[in-house]
Structure 1
Amino acid sequence: MNLEANKQLCRDYFTAFLKRDVDWMQKHIAPSFVRHDPGLPFEVRGPAGVAQLHDALMPAFPDMKLPLEDFVAEGEKVLVRLRVQATHTGPFGDMAATGRSIDIGVLDLFQIRDGVLIEHWALLDNLGMLKQLGALPA
């Protein structure tokens, strides 16, 4: 797969995530896929893990938008710089809805092999998010 196709696969991942497109996930996410994300209280593995992540986030942030800002691709890897923009209108872990908006930066590094996502490293501005939600002083 060429670099542009790998970038497109990552674009499509975010679209499928927001829609909870399980059919897309089954086709484009390896069963052995793992997301490395120290901010999560559970492990994300395979298409079912990505659907679980959707189910954990979307009730808390149902209007979530993921503006994609930059893509850098080399070999099997694509780095995506994006934002998470949403309003906190449902429970998020132990935190009750605050009605506050978040706008945080994210770096996602994906590894792709044979047209399928096999690994994902996620770095989110969790500190900024907690400040924006009022859980920590600004």
Structure 2
Amino acid sequence: MKIMASGELTELHEVIHPDAVNREATAEPPDCRVQGPAAFAATARWLRSAFAELAFDIHETAASDDLVVVHCTMSGRQVGPFVTYDEHGRVAQAFPATGRQMAVTHTHWTRMRDGLVFEHWANRDDMSQALQLRWVPPTPLYLCRMALAKRQASRRQ
């Protein structure tokens, strides 16, 4: 998690299995939906493109056999659009930068293979994130900004 926030993406090869799958990538850009370290690097780029000062404060970890669970808080300041994608890889929604800080709890579940992350799931408090960043309830002006951001993101695809 600290690697995802720090930007030291070359280190992902040391902790992510070549066949690893991120089960949370369904709303992420298409390059996050492949297997292995490249997918996790794409997820890190996606998060860091929207959030400056991205950090994960780890509170607790637990392990049983090949399962490792991490309870943490993700924090950052939204400086870029946060773009989500549909199942076909098309832009689903775009939340323009608000400049606001957020801190939300996550629980990450990873299955290990050969000492490396092989599978990943997460439980996130997305509603708290949306409230802290003032995505909801949206003002009429923010809805217009969202429509513009979605159009711009779709054109870049």
Q: Normalising TM by the smaller chain, what interval? A: 0.7 to 0.9
Instruction: Answer whether contact 1:108 1:123 (CA < 8 A) is retained.
Output: yes
State yes or no: 1:16 paired with 2:16: no
- Partner in structure 2 of residue 68 of structure 1: 58
Equivalent residue letter for 1:27: E
Moved over 6 A (4+): none
SS in 1 for 2:53: coil
Which deviates more, 23-32 or 118-127? Answer: 23-32
Structure 2: which 5+ residue stretches go unaligned? 84-93, 139-157
Deviations 1:69-123 (A, max 9, x none): 0111110111100001111111111121101111111000111122111011111
- 35-44 vs 75-84, which deviates more? 35-44
CA deviation vs aligned residue, 1:43-78 (integer Å, no higher than 9, x gap): 253100111011111121120111000111110111
Aligned alpha-carbon RMSD (Å): 1.8
Q: 29, 39, 49: which is aligned to 1:49?
A: 39
Residues of 1 paired with 2:124 and 2:27: CA distance?
11
User: Is the partner of 1:137 in helix, strand or coil?
Assistant: coil
Provide, for residues 5-63 of structure 1, a one-character-per-residue CA deviation record: whole Å limited to 9, x for no partner. Answer: xxxxxxxxx22212233332123211211111176234253100111011111121120
Identity, % of aligned positions: 26
Q: Unaligned regions of 5+ residues in structure 1, if any?
A: 1-13
Aligned pairs, number: 125
TM-score (norm 2): 0.73
| 1:133 partner amino acid | L
Structure whose residues are more often helix by fraction: 2
Q: 1:70 to 1:39 in 2, by over 3 A?
A: farther
**Bigger Rg, which one:** 2
Which residue number corresponds to residue 113 of structure 2? 113
Q: Which residue of structure 2 lines up, in the alignment, with residue 11 of structure 1?
A: none
